[in-house]
């Protein structure tokens, strides 16, 4: 059995990691951290874990951390992760970092969008943890930077089109809508019930959301040239789920069957990408609680644009589920272990 620590277990991705890992046959949770709930059972902080997780929350003291497990999930905010990861790596531990701290390959770009990087020497070691693109690199890595939730939905939605070179990369627009759990569990006015319910709004409009450089980094690698996109996030009055609606102009006339074939070919062996037949469109309620990314598309003949829709659960494929998928790959386990759950509906 592999001993696992979740650093930041009292957050939304932390509780989701605990839920998924408690059902994983190859691992045992040995440490969960939370400063605010130190000494309390995690199953008291999150009663859904009753009888499934029997650990007390501990303060994340670095020496105790390094002695407590073989494999670490850093489910803490960015900035915190960059200060923790070097200690874990120097102790020879494998880490999946759910924060943004090791996702951008270029330190300058990271520092433009976030803050000064205290452990930039680890950027070259980190592998971007999108298994559908980097499975082999992830398998050989000890530090995986788990992708952001919006980037996961958009990159998976566009990858087959960019690889095939059939869309004009200068015309990409992604409108994404996320459930409120994406903002984390800390108290913030913008996440209060009255601020979110019965309404729908965009935020960080005009290329100002910090996921923009992450999405552009990966799309540029797929397209083999520098790509800039228009990305607008929106906040939904839902707890979980992301739906990204992505537009791009087709470079030439294409049939729906030919494009469907492109998606089928790229994702044929992917356990967590479900390509929908032409005419079927994804929705957040059909991936809820699961590690699936559902992708559908349609061609707007009047404008010559393709419209791709990509749905994930932001806490599962957008965070904790993808992190477990990465752990499975890094440790040589069956990639679907702990993640076999069918989406919860209704």
Ligand X SMILES: CC(=O)N[C@@H](CCC(=O)OP(=O)(O)O)C(=O)O
Q: Which does 186 bind (CB under 5 to 8 A by kind): ligand NDP, ligand X, none?
A: ligand NDP
Q: H-helix or E-strand containing 312?
A: strand 305-312
Contacts of 302 (CB under 8 A, 6+ apart): none
80 is a contact residue toward ligand NDP (CB under 6 A): yes
Residue 322 neighbours by CB distance under 10 Å: 27
Separation CA 327–CA 231 (nearest Å): 29
Structure tokens at 2: 């592999």
178 is a contact residue toward ligand X (CB under 6 A): yes
Structure tokens at 242: 């992301």
Active site residue 57: no
Q: Which does 10 bind (CB under 5 to 8 A by kind): ligand NDP, ligand X, none?
A: ligand NDP
Separation CA 264–CA 267 (nearest Å): 5
291 is a contact residue toward ligand NDP (CB under 6 A): no
The footprint of ligand NDP on residues 235-274 (CB under 6 A) is none
321 is a contact residue toward ligand X (CB under 6 A): no
Nearer to ligand X, 275 or 315 (CB): 315
Nearer to ligand NDP, 182 or 213 (CB): 182
Contacts of 3 (CB under 8 A, 6+ apart): 27, 28, 30, 68, 69, 70, 71
Residues 12-46 as b or e (16 or more Cβ within 10 Å = b): bbbbbbbbbbbebebbebbbbbbeebeeebbbebb
Among 4, 5, 14, 231, binds ligand NDP (CB under 6 A): 14
The stretch near ligand NDP (CB under 6 A) out of 32-40, 110-118, 207-215, 293-301 is 32-40
Among 77, 165, 271, 304, binds ligand NDP (CB under 6 A): 77
148 is a contact residue toward ligand X (CB under 6 A): yes
The stretch near ligand NDP (CB under 6 A) out of 3-11, 47-55, 213-221, 328-336 is 3-11
12 is a contact residue toward ligand NDP (CB under 6 A): yes
Strand pairing class (230-235; 201-202): antiparallel
Among 10, 176, 232, 244, binds ligand NDP (CB under 6 A): 10
- Taking CB under 6 A as the rule, which mask of x and - marks residues 122-151 in contact with ligand NDP? --------------------------xx--
- Taking CB under 6 A as the rule, which mask of x and - marks residues 35-74 in contact with ligand NDP? xxx----------------------x--------------
Residue 289 neighbours by CB distance under 10 Å: 18
3-class DSSP assignment, residue 235: strand
Alpha-carbon distances of 93 from 4, 5, 17, 83, 85, rounded to whole Å: 10, 11, 18, 15, 9
Residue 149 neighbours by CB distance under 10 Å: 29
The stretch near ligand X (CB under 6 A) out of 122-130, 178-186, 271-279, 323-331 is 178-186
Catalytic residue among 57, 66, 149, 194: 149
Q: Which residues bind ligand NDP (CB under 6 A)?
A: 8-14, 34-37, 60, 75-78, 80, 98-99, 148-149, 181-182, 184-186, 314-315, 318-319
* Catalytic annotation, residues: 149
């Amino acid at each position: 059995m592999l001993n696992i620590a979740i650093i930041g277990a009292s957050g939304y991705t932390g509780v989701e990691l605990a839920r998924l890992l408690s059902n994983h046959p190859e691992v045992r949770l040995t440490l969960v951290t939370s400063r605010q709930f130190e000494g309390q059972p995690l199953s008291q902080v999150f009663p859904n874990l009753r009888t499934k997780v029997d650990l007390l929350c501990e303060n994340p003291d670095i020496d105790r951390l390094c002695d407590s497990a073989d494999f670490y999930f850093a489910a803490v905010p960015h900035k915190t992760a960059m200060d923790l990861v070097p200690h874990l790596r120097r102790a020879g531990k494998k880490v999946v970092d759910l924060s943004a701290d090791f996702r951008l390959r270029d330190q300058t770009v990271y520092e433009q969008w976030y803050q000064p990087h205290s452990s930039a020497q680890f950027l070259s070691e980190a592998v971007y943890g999108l298994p559908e693109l980097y499975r082999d690199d992830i398998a050989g890595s000890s530090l995986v930077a788990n992708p952001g939730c919006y980037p996961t939905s958009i990159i998976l939605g566009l990858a087959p089109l960019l690889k095939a070179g059939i869309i004009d990369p200068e015309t990409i627009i992604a409108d994404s809508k996320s459930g409120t759990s994406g903002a984390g569990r800390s108290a913030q006015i913008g996440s209060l019930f009255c601020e979110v319910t019965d309404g729908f709004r965009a935020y960080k409009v005009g290329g100002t959301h910090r996921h923009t450089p992450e999405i552009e980094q990966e799309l540029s690698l797929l397209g083999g040239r520098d790509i800039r996109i228009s990305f607008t996030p929106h906040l939904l009055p839902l707890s979980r789920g992301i739906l990204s609606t992505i537009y791009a102009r087709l470079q030439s006339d294409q049939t729906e069957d030919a494009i469907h074939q492109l998606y089928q070919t790229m994702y044929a062996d992917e356990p967590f990408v479900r390509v929908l037949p032409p005419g079927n469109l994804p929705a957040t309620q059909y991936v809820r609680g699961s590690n699936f990314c559902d992708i559908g598309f349609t061609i707007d003949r009047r404008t010559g644009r393709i419209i791709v829709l990509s749905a994930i659960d932001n806490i599962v494929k957008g965070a904790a589920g993808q992190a477990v998928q990465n752990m499975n790959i890094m440790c040589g386990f069956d990639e679907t272990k702990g993640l076999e759950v069918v989406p919860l509906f209704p």
